[in-house]
């Protein structure tokens, strides 16, 4: 695998479109992220809660990243040899790192270093949840589980699980990020062929 092969693979697997989408999300967050989302808070006696728009924007970037697993060659990719799976993993890793770098840069310039770190942490958590959603519900519903978690965070803000509101140094939120990403990557790797092979050798 070399850089030329990776570029060819990216062309077929929407690499440029995905990066453009995540960059657009980062710019929207930088310029308009402070706009509050006004929604009624459950259990608060009708009091409305305002959640900064930038808290939920990483969800969009995370769902965009799952598009790298879809496309005209997705079935062949999942049925490919181990070398193809390594190539696919390398492509997704590079794409995710680039998206995180762009997102961090835009958010850090607009709001500061800590805001950039929190944005990236949220992106990684929702990316893990999106990968789980893709495996359980299909490529077209990669947004379902992340969106469900976003509703929970919006209507129950400032809870222990609200990783969008905790500081960059919050260890619990980073543990959630590591767990979500680990389970999500595992779900993405559990292709039908691998599951059948595993069950056959039990």
pLDDT for residue 37: 72
- Alpha carbons within 13 angstroms on the beta-carbon side of residue 125 total 26
pLDDT for residue 100: 96
Asked if 164 and 176 touch (Cβ cutoff 8 Å), the reply is no
pLDDT for residue 4: 76
CA separation for the pair 20, 8 (Å, rounded): 17
pLDDT for residue 114: 95
Longest dimension (CA), the chain: 59
* pLDDT mean for each 10 residues of the chain (202 residues): 71 85 94 76 53 88 89 56 73 92 94 94 96 90 92 75 90 95 90 59 59
pLDDT for residue 194: 59
CA separation for the pair 48, 37 (Å, rounded): 10
pLDDT for residue 200: 59
pLDDT for residue 34: 82
């Amino acid at each position: 695998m070399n850089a030329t092969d990776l570029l060819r693979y990216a062309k077929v697997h929407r690499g440029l479109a995905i990066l453009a989408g995540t960059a657009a999300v980062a710019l929207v967050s930088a310029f308009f992220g402070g706009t509050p989302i006004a929604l009624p808070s459950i259990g608060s006696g009708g009091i409305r809660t305002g959640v900064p728009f930038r808290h939920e924007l990483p969800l969009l970037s995370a769902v965009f990243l799952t598009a790298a697993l879809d496309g005209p060659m997705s079935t062949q990719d999942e049925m490919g040899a181990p070398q193809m799976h390594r190539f696919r993993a390398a492509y997704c890793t590079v794409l995710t790192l680039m998206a995180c770098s762009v997102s961090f840069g835009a958010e850090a310039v607009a709001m500061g270093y800590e805001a950039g770190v929190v944005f990236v942490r949220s992106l990684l958590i929702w990316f893990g949840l999106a990968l789980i959603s893709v495996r359980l519900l299909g490529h077209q519903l990669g947004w379902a589980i992340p969106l469900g978690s976003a509703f929970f965070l919006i209507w129950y803000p400032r809870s222990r699980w609200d990783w969008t509101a905790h500081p960059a140094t919050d260890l619990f939120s980073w543990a959630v990020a590591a767990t979500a990403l680990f389970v999500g990557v595992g779900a993405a790797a559990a292709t039908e062929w691998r599951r059948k092979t595993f069950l056959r050798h039990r």
